[in-house]
Structure 1
Amino acid sequence: MEPLVAPGPPLTPDQVARYSRHLLLPDVGTVGQRRLRAARVLVVGAGGLGSPVLLYLASAGVGTIGIVEFDEVDSSNLQRQIVHGEADVGRGKGASARDAIRRIDSSIEVRVHELRLAPRNAANIFRQYDLVVDGTDNFATRYLVNDAAAVAGVPYVFGSIHRFDGQVSVFWDAAPDGRGIDYRDLYPDPPPPGTVPSCAEAGVLGVLCGVVGSIMATEAVKLVTGVGDPLLGRLLIYDARAMAFRTVTVRRDPGRAPVTEVAEDYEVLCGLPTPPLTVDGDLEPEEVRELLAGDGPVALVDVRERVEWDIAHLEGATLVPVGGVLDGSATGDIPRDRPVVLYCKTGERSADALAVLRAAGVSDAHHLRGGLDAWIRDIDPSLPSY
C-alpha cells in the first residue's frame, strides 16, 4: 500500500543520529523517517493499549500525536497502563501521557483532547489527523470510532484485549483498490449487553497490553511509511496463554450500507444504559445499610464471580454468580421468604439479575445502585477496591 503521509523536511544531524536504526532499514530510510516526522496520529484512549502505542509512536519519531482522553489515573491502572506512574494518580490521563511523551522527545507536538468522544465531535477531531489508533475498551465507542473514521475518510488501527486474549486489525472504508473495510464488516452487530465483561469485571493480563499495543503501533508505522502489508482485511488474534498467533480474513459485507454520518446513539445501539442506571428496585448504599440494620432478615446476594468475591465482599453476603441467575440454574438459590438485595461491582450485572428474578416471581427483590464501588465510596472505604 502507498505511504499514507508525504515526507517532511530533511532530517537534522541530531535527528539522523537519533533515528539511525530506522535509517539503516532499507524499507524505511531517511524518506520513511521524514514521513513519520510529518505524520499526525490520533490515539483514542491513554489506557492499557494507548500507553504502549503512545510511547512507541513517540520513540519512532511521529511528529504530531493527539490524545483523546477524559479519565483520571487510578492506582488500579498502574498494573498495565505503563505511560503513567504513581506520581500521576489523580491526574488527567491525557496530561500524564503528554508529559511522558515529552520526556521521550520534547520536539513532538502533543495535542490533548480532554473530552469524551461523541457523535457531535468525533469526525471533526479525526479530520485533523492522518491516522487514528483506537485503544478504547467498549463496543459503543468502537462503533463510534469506526463511523467517525469513515466519515472523516481516515484509516484506523483497531485493538482489543480481554483477559489473556488480544485482537488487532486495520479498518479503512475509503482504502484504495477496492480494499475498503470497516469494523461493521467484522462485527455487524454488538454482542448482547452483559455478555462481554469489561476489564474491570473480568481482569486482564497487564503485559498483554504491551504485546497488542506494540502490534498496533507497528501497524501505524507501516501505514505512515508504506512499509509491508498492513492488517487491512485481516484480523490478528493473539492467545497469551498458548503463546499463539493466528490471522483470519475479513471481507467487506456486500450488503452493508456506506457510513455517511455519525448520528447514531451508540450506547443505545450496544444496549447500554444511560448513566446513572435506574431500574425499579434500586436502593442507594445508605438505604441498603438501613435495611440490613433493621429487625427482619435480609438476603444479601453477591452476583459477581468467585475471583472478585475473594478480593472483597460484604459481610453476610452469599455468592451466586450472575450467569446462574440469568440462565435460571441458580434462581432456586435465591430466598423468597425475605427481602433480597443483589449487588455486583458497579450495579449493571445486579440490575440484569434483578430483572430475571422479578420475571421469576421474586417480588421483594432489590439491588444496590452503583454496586460495591458505591458502597466503598459512601459506606465503607476500608474495603479494597479493584
Structure 2
Amino acid sequence: MAFPPLVAPAASLSDAERVRTARQSRLTEIAEIGQLRLAAARVGVLGAGGIGSPVTLYLASAGVGTIGIIDDDDVERSNLQRQIAFGTADVGRPKATVAAERVRALAPDTRVIEHRTRLTDSNAQELLGGYDLIIDGSDTFDTRYAVADACNALGIPLVWGSVLRFDAQVSVFWSRPSAGSPVRLRDVFPEPPAAGTVPSCADAGVLGSLCGQVGSMLVTEAVKLICGVGEPLLGRMLVIDALSGRSREIPLAAPSGPGRLPLVSPAELAALIAEAPVTLLDVREPEEYADGTIPGARSLPLGALLADPLAVAVTGTVVVFCQQGPRARAAGRALAAAHPDADLRLLAGSYAAWSAASEPSGSLS
C-alpha cells in the first residue's frame, strides 16, 4: 500500500549536497523532490550500537537533514565486531559523540543532535517528540517498549528491527498511520518476555554483518516513508535466517472482509470440543499457560510461532487464543498465510472470556 510522504520538502539543497546525493536523486521514485523531503526530515535513532551504527551512517549518506542519536553508553572494545561507526581509538568515548562525528564527516549539511542520556518511560515522549520518525536500534526490552509506547502516544512511525545470533526481524509500527490500519508493537508482543527467558547478544552472540543488513533495511524503510514511495513494512514483518540465506514475510495487519478469521464464542467452542477433536493453540507465554489454560490446549508462545509458522501442524479445526486477543490475531494471520487451506478460528475474547464463562455463574457452567 502506498503512503503519502511523511514530510514536506525543504526549500532547497546546497550545491555540495546536490552533488553528494546525485546518484540517489537520479532514482525516478525519489528525484529532487524526494531529496528535498529527506533534507527536511528529522529522524531519531535509538542506540548507536550494532544496528544504530549503520543506521546513522546510511541516514546521513541518504541526506536526512536532522539525525538525533540517543545513547548513553561508551565505546567498548567488544563493540567493534559489529558497531561500524567506531574504531579502536574510540574505546572509552561516548558512542553518541563518536557517531555524531562520523555523520558530520560524511554529510556536512546534516544537523546532528546528541542525546547522551538513557531513554526511559518518564522521558521518552520528551526525547522523541521533536522527530518525524523513530528508528529503534536499542538492545533492551525496557527501552524497546518505552520507545514503542512513546511513539504510540505521539502518533509517529516506529521503524523497528532486532538481531540475535543469525536471526533478525524487521517491521514498521504506527499507531496513527496516514493510510491503512494501525499496527503497534504491543499488538504483536503485548508484554516484554520475563527476565532471563531471552538471552542477550552478550550471552548468545550475534553476527556482525547481519546487524549491518538490518540497519540498512531500516534506513530503506525510513526513506520510503519520508518520500512516500514503495510499500513500507507496516502490517508486515520480515524474518531473516542468515544461516540458511532465507527470509519470509509474516502478515501483521488485520485483514478485512472475507479474509478475516472467523470468531467462535466460548459457548460455541465448548460445543465444538464436544462434537469433534479441536486443536487449541495457547499463544501466551509459558508462565501464563502454567497459571491456567483451556483443557487440552497446546502451549505455543507467539514468538516461537512467528519464528516458523510453516512448522506448526494444523489439522482439523484449529482455534487460537491468548489472554485478551491481540496475540491470537497476530498468530492467526501468520498461520493463515502459511496454511491458506487450514480451518483456523479465533476465540472471541480469548482466554479471559473463556475463564469468565467457566465461572460458576458463567455461560459454560
TM-score, normalised with respect to structure 2: 0.68
Equivalent of 1:170 in 172, 178, 195: 172
SS at structure 2 position matched to 1:101 = helix
Using the TM superposition, give the Cα deviation of residue 178 of structure 1 relative to its aligned residue in structure 2, in angstroms. Answer: 4.5
| SS in structure 2 at match of 1:208 | helix
Contact 1:10 1:34 in 2 (8 A): yes
Correspondence 1:106 to 2:111: no
Q: Distance in 2 between matches of 1:80 and 1:2?
A: 34
Determine the structure 2 residue equivalent to 1:286. Answer: none
8 Å CA contact retained: 1:185, 1:253: no
Structure 1 residue 35 displacement after superposition: 0.3
What code does the residue aligned with 1:124 have?
E
- Alignment partner of 1:59 out of 48, 61, 67: 61
Give 1:224's aligned residue: 226
Does residue 13 (structure 1) correspond to residue 3 (structure 2)? The answer is no
Quickly say closer, same or farther: Cα 1:26–1:105, change in 2 above 3 A: same
1:93 to 92, 95, 99: 95
What aligned pairs does 1:1-386 form with structure 2 within 5 A after superposition?
1-251=3-253
How far the C-alpha of 1:97 sits from its partner, in A, is 0.4
In 2, Cα distance between equivalents of 1:105 and 1:11: 12
Question: What's the TM-score once normalised by structure 1's chain length?
Answer: 0.64
Corresponding letter in the other structure for 1:155: P
The 3-state SS of whatever aligns with 2:150 is helix
CA spacing shift, 1:93–1:253, aligned 2, 3 Å: farther
Q: 1:197 to 1:253 in 2, by over 3 A?
A: farther
SS of 1:98's partner is helix
1:120 positional shift: 1.7
Aligned partners of 1:71 and 1:93 also within 8 Å:
yes
Q: Deviations over 1:254-294 (max 9, x none)?
A: 9xxxxxxxxxxxxxxxx9xxxxxxxxxxxxxxxxxxxxxxx
- Higher mean displacement: 136-145 or 244-253: 244-253
Alpha-carbon distance in structure 2 between the residues aligned to 1:99 and 1:177: 36
Kindly state the Cα deviation for residue 4 of structure 1 after the two structures are TM-superposed: 0.3
How big is the shift at 1:252?
Answer: 5.3
Q: Is the 8 A contact 1:3 1:225 kept in 2?
A: yes
Asked whether the equivalents of residues 182 and 253 of structure 2 are also in contact (C-alpha less than 8 Å), the reply is no
Go from structure 1 to structure 2 and tell me whether the alpha carbon gap of 1:26 and 1:95 turns closer, same or farther (over 3 Å shift). same
CA drift at 1:185: 1.1
For the residue of structure 2 that corresponds to 1:132, the secondary structure is strand
Q: Could you tell me how far apart the structure 1 residues matched to 2:100 and 2:179 are? A: 37
User: 1:46, 1:252 → 2: CA distance?
Assistant: 33
SS in 2 for 1:123: helix
Using the TM superposition, give the Cα deviation of residue 253 of structure 1 relative to its aligned residue in structure 2, in angstroms.
Answer: 11
Fraction of identical pairs, as percent: 52
What amino acid maps onto 1:54 in structure 2?
T
Q: Distance in 2 between matches of 1:11 and 1:120?
A: 37
For residues 86-134 of structure 1, give each alpha carbon's deviation from its aligned partner in whole angstroms, at most 9, with x where no partner exists.
1110000000101111110122110001101012211112110000000
Aligned residues of 1:160 and 1:166 also touching (Cα < 8 A):
yes
Does the C-alpha gap of structure 1 residues 252 and 113 become closer, same or farther in structure 2, counting only changes over 3 Å? farther
Q: Which amino acid aligns with 2:252?
A: V
Shift of 1:7: 0.4
CA distance in 2, matches of 1:175, 1:45: 24
- CA distance in structure 1 between the partners assigned to 2:240 and 2:64 by the alignment: 26
Asked if 1 retains the 8 angstrom alpha-carbon contact of 2:224 and 2:232, the reply is yes
For 1:159 and 1:39, the matched residues in 2 are separated by 20
Greater alpha carbon shift after TM alignment, 170-179 vs 235-244: 170-179
Larger radius of gyration: 1
Q: CA deviation at 1:182?
A: 0.6
Distance apart, 1:10 and its partner CA: 2.2
Report the 3-state secondary structure (helix = DSSP H, G, I; strand = E; otherwise coil) of the residue aligned with 1:21: helix
2:272 corresponds in structure 1 to: none
Give distance in 1, aligned partners of 2:179 and 2:97: 40
Q: Distance in 1 between matches of 2:31 and 2:37?
A: 10
Which consecutive unaligned segments of at least 5 residues does structure 1 have? 255-270, 272-386
Question: Aligned partners of 1:174 and 1:239: how far apart in 2?
Answer: 31
Counterpart Cα distance in 2 of 1:93 and 1:252 = 39
Structure 2 stretches lacking a partner, 5+ long:
257-286, 288-365
Query: Secondary structure, in 3 states, of the residue corresponding to 1:245?
Result: strand
Contact kept, 8 Å, 1:134 with 1:157, in 2: the verdict is yes
Q: Across the two proteins, how many residue pairs are aligned to each other?
A: 255
